[in-house]
Amino acid sequence: MFNCRANEDATLAEKILLVTFMITTISTDILQAEAILRSGGVVAIPTETVYGLAANALDAKAVTSIFEIKERPFFDPLIVHTASLERARAFVDHIPDWAEELFAMFSPGPMTIILKKRSIIPDIVTSGLETVGIRIPNHALTLSLLNNLDFPLSAPSANPFMYVSPTSSEHVNKQLGGKIPYILDGGSCNVGVESTIIAEIDGKPSILRLGGLPIEDIERVIGSISFHKNSLSKPISPGMLESHYSPRKKVILGRPAQGVGENKRIGYIGFEFPVDGIPIHHQRILSSTGALAEAARNVFGALRELDSLDIELIYAELVPELGLGRAINDRLKRAAA
Ligand code: TXA
Ligand code: MG
């Protein structure tokens, strides 16, 4: 069993050994996850969108470990996960009406709302911003975990910075196994792309990141909402980078031209149908019935699988630009950027 007390008292050399040789347990037992989190450790948790790398959001030292394990720059803020809107009220100053309406309608669910933070949330969580992202994830195991803890959990997606987000415990283990003590196994993520992030900009709600809650659903509740494109000079969302979700292989948007597959080893991610001229085991079809929800569940897994094949290039076809398709296309475009 991993012992966090021992970790705290260790010398630098011992810590390096601990980091190198940490055994990662993968299990569905929330009590083990709770014990590690209570002692200031980091645990991977399932959500309906992607797996998160979680620690006590009220403990600056525990939160620092998340940045270190993920190799994430400290300027990129973390969001805070909690079990209910009632609990969230302790962490934020004021919840505008539009946000109340969205929480009432869509929580728990694939949505993060940026609100003015209270000082109980350490500055390291928000990279010094005055705002914090609040998310109530819709996953039974993680909701039980959050309900049992008397603190919220900071959690970015459980992937190394800039890489494709994980949608299964195996994905997490492949990259962070050996670096974290525990992965709470909640199966494959139901939604498959990260939460939609909404913030108030110039007095109006705006979308900062397209995600698992489609714009169309949001607009049905609060009326028309605009999309805020992050500016590089004055970013509202410092971590929202043009290039992200990147496999190591080069990604090119669109279908490969006839004959490309003859001189190059290429892979293909298609929406409904495979293409000719590429071996079928180098192709991933996101949804053979053309269902965007299924495509969203499969897109990150497809990028990861093709990344591990002996190919040079990945071609990826965009999906219809509506509903969840907008988030899928956003991720594919960033993977290609
Ligand atoms: O679905 C999700 O949201 C997943 C699961 C684990 O909950 N989490 C996730 O976290 O995607 P992360 O850190 O990979 O992405 C959160 C994004 C980052 O781009 C970050 O820059 C932005 O949210 N963000 C966090 N706090 C913010 C704030 N106060 N203002 C603006 N953007 C913020
Ligand atoms: Mg992420």
d(CA 333, CA 337): 6
User: Distance, CA 3 to ligand 1 centroid (Å)?
Assistant: 29
Cβ-based burial of 257 (10 A; exposed 0-12, middle 13-18, buried ≥19): exposed
Determine the distance separating the centroid of ligand 1 and the alpha carbon of 208, expressed in angstroms: 10
Q: How far is the CA of 79 from the centre of ligand 2 (A)?
A: 10
Per-residue pLDDT in tens (0 to 9) along the chain, 337 residues = 344 444 455 566 555 555 556 999 999 999 999 999 999 999 999 999 999 999 999 999 999 999 999 999 999 999 999 999 999 999 999 999 999 999 999 999 999 999 999 999 999 999 999 999 999 999 999 999 999 999 999 999 999 998 999 999 999 999 999 999 999 999 999 999 999 999 999 999 999 999 999 999 999 999 999 998 876 566 676 667 677 778 899 999 999 988 887 778 999 999 999 999 999 999 999 999 999 999 999 999 999 999 999 999 999 999 999 999 999 999 999 999 9
- Give me the sheet containing 153-154, strands edge to edge: 25-27, 182-184, 43-45, 52-56, 153-154, 79-81, 131-135, 111-116, 196-201, 204-209, 226-227
* Pairing mode of beta strands 79-81, 131-135: parallel
Name the closest ligand to CA 138. 1
* Count of CB atoms situated within 10 Å of the CB of 299: 30
Q: Is the CB of 197 under 6 A from ligand 1?
A: yes
Pair 44, 181: CB distance under 8 Å: no
* Number of separate helices (H) and strands (E) present in the chain: 12, 15
For residues 129 and 113, what is the distance between their CA atoms, to the nearest angstrom? Answer: 14
Integer Cα distance of 171 and 173 in angstroms = 6
- Residues ≥6 apart with Cβ < 8 Å to 289: 272
* Distance (Å) from CA 35 to ligand 1 centroid: 25
Determine the atom of ligand 1 nearest the C-alpha atom of 159: 14
Q: Which ligand is nearest to the CA of 142?
A: 1
Mark 94-127 as b/e (b = at least 16 C-beta within 10 Å): ebeebbeebbeebbbbbbbbbbebeeebbebbbe
pLDDT of residue 218: 98
Q: Is 273 exposed, middle or buried (0-12, 13-18, 19+ CB in 10 A)?
A: exposed
Determine the pLDDT at residue 39. Answer: 98
Contact 239 CB / ligand 1 (< 6 Å)? yes
Instruction: Cite the DSSP H helix spans in 27-183.
Output: 30-38, 60-70, 85-88, 97-106, 140-148, 169-176
Tell me, in angstroms, the distance from the centre of ligand 2 to residue 208's CA: 13
Could you write out the three-class secondary structure of 247-259?
CCCEEEECCCCCC
**3-state helix vs strand vs coil in the chain, percent to 5:** 35, 20, 50
**DSSP reduced 3-state for 76:** coil
The confidence score (pLDDT) of residue 259 equals 83
Pocket flag, ligand 1, residue 45 (CB < 6 Å): no
* Helix (H) or strand (E) run with residue 43 in it: strand 43-45
* Contact call for residues 319 and 284 (beta carbons, < 8 A): no
Contact at 8 Å (CB) between 82 and 183?
A: no
Sketch out the chain's domains with CATH numbers. Answer: 12-227 (3.90.870.10), 250-336 (3.40.50.11030)
CA of 79 to the centre of ligand 1 (A): 5
Ligand 1 atom at minimum distance from 212 CA: 1
Query: Which atom of ligand 1 is closest in space to residue 45's alpha carbon?
Result: 6
